[in-house]
Amino acid sequence: MFTAYGKEAIELFQTNLEGNKPFDIITLDIAMPDMDGTEVLFNIRQIEKNHNVAKENQVKIIIVTSHSDRDYLITCLQAECNDYIVKPFDLKSISRKIEKIKPNEPIFR
């Protein structure tokens, strides 16, 4: 599933969580047309808290950014992303990130 808009991503996440079809993994760009990606991340984590999702069952989130500034990346990690990847990246890089965070469920069904 793909969306370029933060509000839509939050709605899709919540709908799927409440429909007992939670996402396994989300790649979340920081630069989005309607919201900052960290805002989306905060909203997703709050929804999980509101639904009493255990930390080990939370959706795995990889932040995608062109910012390689250390303080910026620390902010993303403090916002509870599971990892980040700096643009530009290739398939091998994203595969390593996914393997590192090991989603709870198979990604491809």
Question: What number is the average pLDDT over the span 36-49?
Answer: 93
E strands, 38-99, are: 60-65, 83-86
In-domain check, residue 16: yes
Q: Could you tell me if residue 13 is inside a domain?
A: yes
Beta-carbon count within 10 A of 92 CB: 8
Percentage of the chain beyond pLDDT 90 is 40
Q: Is 34 helix (H, G, I), strand (E, B) or coil?
A: coil
Q: In the chain, count of helices (H) and strands (E)?
A: 4, 3
Give the position of tokens 């599971």. Answer: 82
- The single-letter DSSP state of residue 79 is T
54 lies in some domain: yes
Q: What is the CATH number of the domain that holds 86?
A: 3.40.50.2300
Q: What is the pLDDT of residues 61-75, one digit of tens each?
A: 998 888 777 777 788
The amino acid sitting at 28 is L
Whether 103 is covered by a domain: the verdict is no
